Amino acid sequence: MLDYYLHNDPGLPGAWSPWFSHEYISYFAAQSVSRLMSLPSVDVKPNPHYGEKLWPTGPRHIDLYKESYQDHRQLDPLWSFDYKKRNGDYAHEVPAGKSVEPWKILVVYSTEPDLYLDDDLSLNKNQKITGGSHGWRHMHFKIMGSNYGIAPQSYRVHKDLAKLSIDNGNDYWGWRYLSRCGHYLADLGNPFHVKALPGSFLIRKIFARHELFKIVSAIHQSYEIYVERRFREGFRPFADAIVQGAREGLNAQKDIDDMLRNYLKGARLKHDPIFYFFYEKFGKELLDAFADIDQNSPSDAATQINRCSADAAKVLFSTDHLSKLDYLDVVTGNMLFDVGMMLGILFNEFAVYVSQRHPGKT
């Protein structure tokens, strides 16, 4: 259906790899939207810093400009778990005289919200339950009637910022904000971002909160590792699911905001079966890979979890376990279809918006 799998696309420099799940998802969704793919390049411009009082960025965040890069290393994609470590180094200042196609902006900046953008902020007294301010902005779930996390708001804020940038003639940042927006929208389709744990499991472990936190984080992270590894192997069914979802979304001509509720519901319904699948099929062997995680450690949960990722990948993709993954492949394909549908509609909506703002340029 498509010419390339992201990591084989000759139009993308090696300095941008290794690639991560959000980039694969954005890539396949973008490739499905012909109106987006045909948009002309935009000039790289400085960040307009809209709404920073309302929506502060993490103090350690730096806007990198990947349009200007130097190749330095050849990392092994199957064993890369840190978004900050790539084959190239990128400019910290706005590079002069550079332009880039909008679809590439959507792809290469889609992991930015998982760097320091949302870290080290005090957003809510309950943010510890999502592992800190980062999780707070990337998740949205209920536990015993209370809501935790504001991912739907993260999605809406970035959509507004994207429109504002385009209205003010900064298309480059319009697409960068949209890339971030797409990240939160994709997170909302991930079962582990819209549900924390099965209710029955909470009741079983309610007096062992520390153990509960460890198991929930370990299974969430294992699922992310599994999905990412499949993409990096060039797993066709996942690419096809996103492309088919995006195409169906465009044909249906539906509105994302009307669909959001059912989209979250669909993701939430997939949570418990996936959670128990990992817990029952991999059990102690998998949980042991995450044995060093400590909720009270000074380094944040995400940093600690990354260290365990390689060990977990060895368990999940060991030859003994490979045949177990069929079930996950099917459920995840269904999930990616929904994510592709939402991103396809989002990207198309903006391609139309931009074309209307600048008629005659396409």
Instruction: Give me the phi and psi of 65, to 5 degrees please.
Output: -115, 100
CB nearer to Zn ion: pick between 94 and 302: 302
Residue with token string 């990392």: 75
Q: How far is the CB of 251 from Zn ion (least distance, A)?
A: 28
Instruction: Give me the phi and psi of 222, to 5 degrees please.
Output: -60, -40
CB nearer to Zn ion: pick between 67 and 114: 114
Query: How big is the site for Zn ion, counted in residues (CB under 5 A)?
Result: 2
Tell me if 138 contacts Zn ion by CB under 5 A: yes
Q: How far is the CB of 268 from Zn ion (least distance, A)?
A: 17
Q: How far is the CB of 241 from Zn ion (least distance, A)?
A: 20
- Beta bridge partners of residue 71, listed in sequence order: 88
Tell me if 228 contacts Zn ion by CB under 5 A: no
What is the rounded distance in angstroms from the CA atom of residue 201 to the CA atom of residue 282?
16
Q: How far is CA 231 from CA 42, 78, 175, 333, in A?
A: 29, 10, 24, 11
Q: How far is the CB of 113 from Zn ion (least distance, A)?
A: 5
Q: How far is the CB of 229 from Zn ion (least distance, A)?
A: 18
Q: How far is the CB of 132 from Zn ion (least distance, A)?
A: 13
What is the rounded distance in angstroms from the CA atom of residue 270 to the CA atom of residue 321?
21
Which residue pairs, CB below 8 angstroms and at least 24 apart, start in 206-215? 210/295, 213/295, 214/287, 214/290, 214/293, 214/295, 215/279, 215/287
What is the rounded distance in angstroms from the CA atom of residue 45 to the CA atom of residue 67?
11
CB nearer to Zn ion: pick between 68 and 149: 149
Stretch that binds Zn ion, among 12-20, 116-124, 131-139, 217-225 (CB under 5 A): 131-139
Whether 109 and 66 have beta carbons less than 8 Å apart is answered as: yes
CB nearer to Zn ion: pick between 187 and 338: 187
Stretch that binds Zn ion, among 99-107, 138-146, 252-260, 265-273 (CB under 5 A): 138-146
Q: List all residues 6 or more positions away from 12 whose beta carbon is below 8 Å from its beta carbon.
A: 6, 104, 107
E-strand ranges in the chain read: 42-43, 65-71, 88-91, 99-100, 141-143, 146-148
Q: List all residues 6 or more positions away from 299 whose beta carbon is below 8 Å from its beta carbon.
A: none
Q: How far is the CB of 331 from Zn ion (least distance, A)?
A: 20
CB nearer to Zn ion: pick between 101 and 118: 118
Q: How far is the CB of 22 from Zn ion (least distance, A)?
A: 7
Residue with token string 């996103």: 242
Stretch that binds Zn ion, among 78-86, 130-138, 244-252, 299-307 (CB under 5 A): 130-138
CB nearer to Zn ion: pick between 138 and 214: 138
Which residue pairs, CB below 8 angstroms and at least 24 apart, start in 71-74? 71/13, 71/14, 71/15, 72/15, 74/14
Stretch that binds Zn ion, among 98-106, 133-141, 153-161, 288-296 (CB under 5 A): 133-141
Taking CB under 5 A as the criterion, which residues in 247-276 touch Zn ion? none
Tell me if 230 contacts Zn ion by CB under 5 A: no
Taking CB under 5 A as the criterion, which residues in 307-326 touch Zn ion? none
Whether 148 and 126 have beta carbons less than 8 Å apart is answered as: yes
Q: How far is the CB of 151 from Zn ion (least distance, A)?
A: 8
Instruction: Give me the phi and psi of 42, to 5 degrees please.
Output: -120, 150
How many Cβ atoms sit within 10 Å of the Cβ of residue 231? 25
Ranked by CB distance to Zn ion, the top (closest) residue is 138
Binding mask 177-216 for Zn ion (x = CB under 5 A): ----------x-----------------------------
CB nearer to Zn ion: pick between 57 and 355: 57
Q: How far is the CB of 183 from Zn ion (least distance, A)?
A: 6
CB nearer to Zn ion: pick between 86 and 138: 138
Residue numbers of the site for Zn ion (CB under 5 A)? Answer: 138, 187
